[in-house]
Amino acid sequence: MSQGKAGTERWAAARVAANAAAHGVSGSAEYDDEVRARAVYSAEAGLSFFHTHAEGLGLILFFTSTVVASAVPWRRARALLWGLLGLGSLFPLGYLVYGVAALELGRDTGIALAETWILTPLGSATLAGVLGLAVALAARRRRA
């Protein structure tokens, strides 16, 4: 990630300049520098979180999906769990939206959009899938 930092900063600063109204750029160098720095930082954070979550979440979902396939005997329960885990696999993409929306819509508006409409629903699907798997495993254990 550090190798692309300079290019990311230039691209993000250009997007802030192109969307000056969304960021509330005023023409005051001191104020505008702070606004630009916060937006650039948000974009970099989104890319960093994307990278981190994409590396780790895939392994977790691969493992849980495998457990669903081998340990959940009910077809509908498996389908539901796989659907939830499948949606959850898209969670890292929410951080790409986070970074881009912070630059295109303004920092606060873009982050709120990503958190409300992408990260929260997809993260909730992941958690619901993992919790559903735990419930299915407990139900299966009781039957045995």
* Average pLDDT per consecutive 10 residues, the chain (144 residues; last block may be shorter): 82 94 92 95 94 92 96 96 97 97 97 98 97 96 84
CA distance 4 to 7: 5
Q: What local confidence, expressed as pLDDT, does residue 2 receive? A: 67
Please tell me the predicted confidence (pLDDT) of residue 144.
72
User: In angstroms, how far is CA 7 from the centroid of its own chain?
Assistant: 22
Angle, alpha carbons 93-61-134 (nearest 5°): 130
What local confidence, expressed as pLDDT, does residue 54 receive? 92
Q: What are phi and psi of 104, to 5 degrees?
A: -85, -35
CA-to-CA separations, 127 to 18, 34, 79, 106, in angstroms, rounded: 38, 36, 16, 29
